[in-house]
């Protein structure tokens, strides 16, 4: 199950770093030893990068790996495979497992499982509150001091709705340069909510999830973060109003960062018309105007990163009535193609939004580095000319709940390297 550990030297021929001129990259001892055209092979294993774009290994700040607790939907190992195939070298595993990752013990378990899988660096996220219950702080410091070195804390799936508790959490994690990643959803405004509140929800008779439930929490939280001088990260921003609020907060100097998911950049609420819960997600798919605002926010930097919110679910949790289905979509293997589709081949921007910035926010020093000599050899090779059709059963995830089934998307991930070791070669996981 583990990647080959024998030291390898790899020479990537003629890859275009961030879409630039073709060049060679020599990966040795976990770092990029040399970079430049016409490097000598010298016994290195040669990977032909002709026509491929080299990107720094992608970093996902928002992944659900489901282990421990729902190993029927995903495990750290299967999720790691999906991540490597998606071009990722690091993923941050959300805390809403069972048991919840709210103690040093659980985050260390997840961390260790990630190390054993060895395909990507799995960085656990710790819960903000005990059991995600929103009542009292989990032992944030213990998780920070653990072997997992947790820096990002989130109750994702639930909002830290109590303003006083949120203030305390923001303040408390300053001691170890932590950040609170908020799932912004005012729970009183979303009781029973099933989809975006608007004309489609009114027609379908599904209880609405109003944009204001997200925006009101973000507005409150940026004010709180500003007040206590703490770092705030906003998970899966989904509305135009949220983008406006974050833009305003950044202009005022608040230390806020924000993420958007690929699905919120592409899909809209009318997908619910089929009543197929593969389109049920939290926050819900919104309107065309929201999609436009999110794209603009991502381009202009109001939104710092793309995060997948990869949320595998077992078949029985999706092949049912809409209201009874769990919210969430797969994302790891389709994120880069969807972002390519949305942003176009702006490779420096893609590297910033999907690698540099998420690594910075998560405090992952070994990731999100520019591909230069001496940098850790975490990178991925993409063929932007290939278009492929998404087949749910062809994905590496244990679950099949992709909203892109049958869609043709651009960009095939050909190879991924974690500290110089190939985790994916020729589009196949190297295990």
Partner 1 sequence: MKHLLSTADLDAATATEILDIATEMASVSGREIKKLPTLRGRTVVNLFYEDSTRTRISFEAAAKRLSADVINFSAKGSSVEKGESLKDTAWTLQAMGADAVVIRHPASGAPHRLANWVTGSVLNAGDGTHEHPTQALLDAYTMRSRMGRLDGLHVAIVGDVLHSRVARSNVLLLNTLGAKVTLVGPPTLVPTDLNASVQVAYDLDAVLPQADVVMMLRVQRERMTDSYFPSAREYSRRYGLDGARLRRMPAHAIVMHPGPMNRGMEITPEVADSPRSTIVEQVTNGVSVRMACLYLLLGGAR
Q: Do residues 310 and 261 lie in contact, with contact meaning Cβ atoms separated by under 8 Å? A: no
The per-residue DSSP string of 218-247 comes to HHHHHHHHHHHT--EEE-S---HHHHHHHH
Does position 389 bind partner 1 by CB under 8 A?
Answer: no
Stretch that binds partner 1, among 47-55, 191-199, 295-303, 341-349 (CB under 8 A): 191-199
Size of interface with partner 1, in residues (CB under 8 A)? 19
- Residue 193 CB, nearest distance to partner 1 (Å)? 13
Q: Which of residues 322-361 bind partner 1 (CB under 8 A)?
A: 322-324
Stretch that binds partner 1, among 157-165, 269-277, 328-336, 337-345 (CB under 8 A): 269-277
x/- letters, 298..327, toward partner 1 (CB under 8 A):
------------------x--xxxxxx---
Query: Which is it for the CA torsion 242, 244, 247, 248, positive or negative?
Result: negative
Question: How many other CB atoms are found less than 10 A from the CB of residue 364?
Answer: 22
Does position 177 bind partner 1 by CB under 8 A?
Answer: no
Which of 2, 50, 98, 274 binds partner 1 (CB under 8 A)? It is 274
Does position 285 bind partner 1 by CB under 8 A?
Answer: no
Nearer to partner 1, 117 or 285 (CB): 285
Enter the tokens of residue 61.
């700040």
Query: Which is it for the CA torsion 59, 62, 68, 74, positive or negative?
Result: negative
What are the residues whose beta carbons fall under 8 Å from the beta carbon of 313, sequence distance 6 or more? 73, 325, 326, 328, 399, 401
Does position 372 bind partner 1 by CB under 8 A?
Answer: no
- Residue 323 CB, nearest distance to partner 1 (Å)? 4
Stretch that binds partner 1, among 274-282, 287-295, 303-311, 369-377 (CB under 8 A): 274-282
DSSP element (H, E) containing 306: strand 305-306
Nearer to partner 1, 138 or 272 (CB): 272
- Which SS3 state, helix, strand or coil, does residue 176 take? helix
What number of residues does the chain have? 431
Does position 289 bind partner 1 by CB under 8 A?
Answer: no
- Residue 205 CB, nearest distance to partner 1 (Å)? 3
- Give the 3-state DSSP-derived string for 369-393, with helices as H, strands as E and coil as C: CCCCCCCECCEEEEEEEEEEECCHH
What are the residues whose beta carbons fall under 8 Å from the beta carbon of 11, sequence distance 6 or more? 24, 25, 26, 27, 39, 41, 42, 44, 45, 46, 47
- Residue 316 CB, nearest distance to partner 1 (Å)? 6
Nearer to partner 1, 200 or 258 (CB): 200
- Residue 202 CB, nearest distance to partner 1 (Å)? 4
- Residue 320 CB, nearest distance to partner 1 (Å)? 6
Cα 321 from Cα 275, distance rounded (Å) = 8
Residue 365 appears among annotated catalytic residues: no
Nearer to partner 1, 185 or 317 (CB): 317
Catalytic annotation, pick one of 309, 317, 341, 383:
309
Task: Using alpha carbons, select from 268, 288, 423, 295 the residue that is nearest to residue 349.
Answer: 295
Q: Which of residues 195-214 bind partner 1 (CB under 8 A)?
A: 198-199, 202-207
- Residue 314 CB, nearest distance to partner 1 (Å)? 12
Nearer to partner 1, 163 or 324 (CB): 324
Enter the tokens of residue 210.
């109003």
Beta bridge partners of 412: 383
Q: Do residues 91 and 423 lie in contact, with contact meaning Cβ atoms separated by under 8 Å? A: no
Nearer to partner 1, 202 or 373 (CB): 202
Nearer to partner 1, 14 or 207 (CB): 207
Cα 162 from Cα 133, distance rounded (Å) = 11
Please identify every residue annotated as catalytic. Answer: 309
- Which stretches of the chain bind partner 1, using CB under 8 A? 194, 198-199, 202-207, 274-276, 316, 319-324
């Amino acid at each position: 199950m583990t990647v080959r550990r024998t030291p390898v030297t790899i020479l990537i021929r003629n890859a275009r770093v961030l879409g630039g001129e073709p060049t060679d990259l020599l990966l040795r001892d976990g770092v990029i030893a040399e970079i430049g055209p016409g490097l000598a092979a010298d016994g290195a294993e040669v990977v032909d990068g002709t026509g491929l774009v080299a990107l720094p290994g992608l970093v996902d700040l928002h992944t659900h790996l489901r282990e421990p607790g729902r190993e029927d939907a995903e495990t750290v190992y299967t999720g790691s495979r999906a991540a490597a195939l998606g071009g990722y070298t690091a993923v941050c595993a959300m805390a809403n497992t069972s048991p919840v990752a709210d103690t040093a013990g659980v985050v260390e378990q997840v961390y260790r499982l990630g190390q054993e899988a060895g395909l990507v660096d799995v960085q656990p996220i710790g819960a903000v509150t005990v059991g995600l219950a929103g009542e009292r702080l989990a032992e944030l410091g213990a998780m920070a001091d653990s072997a997992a070195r947790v820096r990002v804390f989130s109750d994702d799936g639930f909002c830290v709705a109590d303003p006083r508790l949120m203030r305390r959490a923001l303040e408390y994690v300053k001691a170890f340069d932590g950040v609170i990643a908020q799932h912004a959803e005012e729970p009183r405004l979303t009781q029973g909510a099933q989809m975006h509140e608007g004309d489609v929800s009114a027609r379908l008779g599904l209880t609405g999830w109003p944009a204001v439930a997200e925006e009101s929490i973000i507005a409150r939280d940026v004010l709180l973060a500003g007040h206590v001088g703490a770092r705030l990260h906003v998970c899966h921003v989904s509305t135009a109003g949220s983008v406006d609020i974050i833009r305003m907060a950044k202009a005022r100097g608040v230390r806020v960062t924000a993420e958007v998911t690929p699905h919120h950049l592409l899909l809209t609420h009318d997908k619910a018309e089929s009543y197929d819960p593969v389109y049920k997600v939290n926050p819900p798919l919104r309107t065309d105007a929201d999609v436009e605002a999110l794209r603009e926010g991502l381009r202009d930097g109001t939104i710092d990163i793309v995060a997948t919110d990869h949320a595998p679910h077992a078949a029985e949790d999706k092949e049912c009535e809409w209201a009874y289905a769990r919210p969430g979509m797969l994302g790891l293997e389709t994120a880069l193609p969807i972002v390519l589709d949305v942003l176009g081949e702006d490779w420096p921007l893609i590297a910033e939004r999907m690698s540099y910035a998420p690594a910075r926010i998560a405090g992952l020093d070994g990731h999100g580095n520019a591909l230069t000599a001496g940098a850790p050899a975490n990178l991925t090779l993409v063929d932007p000319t290939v278009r492929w059709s998404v087949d749910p059963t062809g994905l590496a995830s244990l679950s099949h709940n992709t909203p892109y089934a049958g869609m043709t998307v651009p960009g095939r991930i050909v190879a991924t390297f974690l500290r110089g070791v190939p985790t994916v070669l020729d589009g196949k996981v190297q295990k």
